Structure 1
Amino acid sequence: MRLILYSKPGCHLCEGLQEKLEQILQTRNTKSVQLEIRDIMTRDDWFAAYQYEVPVLYVTNRRDTEEAEEQMIPRPSPRATVSQLEKMLRKYL
């Protein structure tokens, strides 16, 4: 399973969410969930889709990128604690 975070450099909301996700994955000590960071500045289609929306979080049940179906996760509040974010993610993981 993969969590995909669409982000861009200098985005404080993106950086905060990334830090919380990394904490959750480290404390769960699981290798079954992988975090992938996608910089929207590297592809025109990502930039067009998410330039005003980052951070955007998706989950997919496949590790390989080919034909993996991505499901968008509602954006958590920037004020959400690590435990609140983990509780929300349980619904999707």
Structure 2
Amino acid sequence: MKLILYSKPDCHLCEGLQEKLEKIEHLSFELEIRDITTREDWFAAYQYEIPVLFLSNHRGTEDTEELQPIPRPSPRASVKQLEQMLLKYIPNSEKNNAE
């Protein structure tokens, strides 16, 4: 499973979410951080929305992958709460591997 976090430098909400995602121990996933300042299309799409989190259901290129949006968690959410929220979006086959 791959999670994609659209972020930008010096965004405290982005950094906080990234730190919590990196502390999750009971789910196995690859976390890719995409800096929206490196591409105009990302910046235009997410400049007022970051942090934005997606589940990638396809291991294609950035332009062909299928992204499922994941609602932004509260900045106050704990690592455990974030993990529980992510479980709602993980396909059943991957849930079995996480348990």
Q: Is 2:51 aligned against 1:55?
A: yes
Give the match's secondary structure for 2:77: coil
Rounded Cα–Cα distance in structure 2 between residues aligned with 1:71 and 1:29: 17
Rounded Cα–Cα distance in structure 2 between residues aligned with 1:87 and 1:28: 10
Give the match's secondary structure for 2:48: coil
Which digits, 9 at most, give the CA deviation of each residue in 1:45-92, with x for residues without a partner?
000011111000000122332622101101100000000000000011
Q: Is 2:76 aligned against 1:76?
A: no
Q: Residue 9 of structure 1 aligns with which residue?
A: 9
Identity, % of aligned positions: 70
Rounded Cα–Cα distance in structure 2 between residues aligned with 1:58 and 1:82: 17
Q: How many residues align?
A: 89
Q: Residue 46 of structure 1 aligns with which residue?
A: 42
TM-score normalised by structure 2 residue count: 0.84
Structure 1: 5+ residue runs without aligned partners? none
Rounded Cα–Cα distance in structure 2 between residues aligned with 1:52 and 1:67: 24
Which digits, 9 at most, give the CA deviation of each residue in 1:12-34, with x for residues without a partner?
0000000000111xx2373xx21
Runs of 4+ in 1 over 4 A off after TM superposition: none
Query: Could you tell me whether the CA contact under 8 Å between 2:5 and 2:52 is conserved in 1?
Result: yes
Residue type of the partner of 1:57?
A: L
Structure 2: 5+ residue runs without aligned partners? 91-99
Compute the RMSD of aligned alpha carbons.
1.3
Give the match's secondary structure for 1:28: coil
Q: Is 2:87 aligned against 1:90?
A: yes
TM-score normalised by structure 1 residue count: 0.89
